[in-house]
Amino acid sequence: MAVNLPSSSLLLPLIFLFLIFITVNGQHFTIPESTIEEIQQAFAENKLTSTQLVDFYINQIKTINPLLHGIIEVNPDARDQAKNADEERRENRGRRSLGDLHGIPVLLKDTIGTQDKLNTSAGSYALVGSVVARDASVVEKLRKAGAVIMGKASLSEWYKFRSLSHVPNGWCARSGQGVVSSLISCLQIFFLVYLVLHLNCLRG
């Protein structure tokens, strides 16, 4: 099966999309470079809210996903979950720890069951609209920890269990061919070139 992947000229500009920062309360906060600990610190210092974080990721998905095909669907309730997390944080007023994952958006593979508005389809149209009996155990734990279930990430359809050998990895009917591996290769080349140039400069 022939798969047309974006050229490196399209992938290179994506490097710089990961350097985007937002301004919250007059201060710069670089979301893509932040750890969960740093995000929680920003929550505690009122530099960032879960709603702002979810909005940022939704915008990133809208911008990048048409090229990468890494996300199958976004949870329509993600913003409501984020707002609830923000409200819990305001009511708590720092009296007790809400946990490291509280208010943090997470993506799940499309084979992990969620009893909500998201599909659990293994990347196949055959299971779109089906209803799972309950949340998977890991989802129950994530919800209990206060995480925001952001959406479903793509995968090789049925994990290739029902696919012919010539179907490429990362392809599924619902999102098409994922190109994250191509992006990673492009990033590796970029940093390799940077490293070589930097070493040459040091050598004079």
Query: Residue 188: is its pLDDT beyond 70?
Result: no
Fill in the amino acid letter for 92: N
Query: Residue 90: is its pLDDT beyond 80?
Result: yes
Q: Rounded mean pLDDT of 48-66?
A: 93
Q: What is the pLDDT of residues 4-39, one digit of tens each?
A: 434 434 444 443 444 444 544 455 567 777 889 999
User: Tokens 């400069």 — which residue?
Assistant: 201
Which whole-number Å values give the CA distances from 61 to 17, 68, 112, 187, in the listed order?
Answer: 11, 9, 20, 19
- Cα–Cα distance for residue pair 204/32, rounded to 1 Å: 34
- Cα–Cα distance for residue pair 128/110, rounded to 1 Å: 11
Helix (H/G/I), strand (E/B), else coil: 32: coil
Name residues whose C-beta falls within 8 Å of residue 164's C-beta, 6 or more positions apart in sequence.
none
Check residue 123 and give its pLDDT.
Answer: 94
Query: Residue 184: is its pLDDT beyond 70?
Result: no
Mark 96-127 as b/e (b = at least 16 C-beta within 10 Å).
eebeebbbbbebbebbbbbebebbbbbbeeeb
Check residue 137 and give its pLDDT.
Answer: 96
Fill in the amino acid letter for 176: G
Does 43 or 32 have the greater pLDDT score?
Answer: 43
Of 8-17, 86-95, 110-119, 158-167, the least confident = 8-17
State the pLDDT confidence band at 167, using cuts at 50, 70 and 90: confident
Query: Residue 74: is its pLDDT beyond 80?
Result: yes
Mean of the per-residue pLDDT values for the chain? 80
Q: What is the pLDDT of residues 107-149, one digit of tens each?
A: 999 999 999 999 999 999 999 999 999 999 999 999 999 999 9
State the pLDDT confidence band at 101, using cuts at 50, 70 and 90: very high
Burial class (CB in 10 A: 0-12, 13-18, 19+), 175: buried
For the chain, how are helix, strand and coil distributed in percent, rounded to 5?
A: 45, 10, 45
**How many of the other CB atoms lie within 10 Å of CB of 9?**
8
